[in-house]
């Protein structure tokens, strides 16, 4: 009986540690690491489970976009958001996304760009609601893409 409790405690402790690490990542707690420069001075880096990480190299900020895909095979439409539209289209067309793999191949018929992921997500949710979907269908029908 003691061995069973010890095993439970060990598994619980490992699980608790992973939950604490995930919570730290979720809150975007900075992590100190060395070796960022030739002198070995510490570099502060923002961590995240999502794709909203800060770039250390000084590149331009990432842009996020909301996109609408249309199946070439049938009349299926998909609405989503991403920070790399080209890569995401390749993933959809390679049938690695559960909700779209039966309808591949796709083409992008509409895209909007945003500076933050939350803005892109809000716009995606708007398009998936009745009012936004009606607007999107009317707009794309006028453009001859729906």
> How many angstroms from the chain centroid is the CA of residue 61?
16
* Lowest-confidence segment of 19-28, 72-81, 88-97, 112-121 by average pLDDT: 19-28
Q: What is the pLDDT of residues 68-84, one digit of tens each?
A: 999 999 999 999 999 99
Task: Tell me the average pLDDT across 96-111.
Answer: 96
Which domains, ranges and CATH numbers included, belong to the chain? 2-45 (no CATH), 64-143 (3.40.1440)
| Tens digit of each residue's pLDDT (9 = 90 or more) over 46-61 | 222 233 333 333 345 6
- Ranges assigned E (strand) in the chain: 31-33, 43-45, 64-71, 77-82, 106-114
Distances (CA, A) of 144 to 31, 133, 134, 140: 50, 16, 15, 6
Q: Model confidence over 110-139: pLDDT tens digits? A: 999 999 999 999 999 999 999 999 999 999
Dist CA 45 CA 49 (whole Å) = 13
């Amino acid at each position: 009986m003691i061995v069973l409790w010890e095993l439970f405690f060990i598994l619980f402790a490992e699980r608790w540690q992973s939950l604490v690490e995930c919570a730290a990542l979720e809150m975007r707690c900075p992590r100190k690491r060395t070796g960022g420069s030739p002198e070995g001075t510490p570099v502060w880096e923002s961590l995240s489970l999502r794709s909203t990480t800060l770039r250390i190299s000084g590149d331009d900020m990432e842009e996020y976009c909301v996109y609408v895909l249309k199946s070439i095979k049938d009349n299926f439409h998909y609405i989503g958001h991403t920070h790399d539209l080209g890569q995401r289209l390749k993933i959809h067309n390679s049938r690695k996304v559960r909700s779209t793999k039966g309808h591949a191949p796709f083409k992008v018929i509409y895209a909007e760009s945003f500076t933050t992921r939350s803005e892109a997500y809000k716009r995606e949710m708007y398009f998936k609601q009745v009012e936004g979907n009606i607007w999107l269908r009317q707009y794309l029908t006028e453009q001859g893409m729906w």
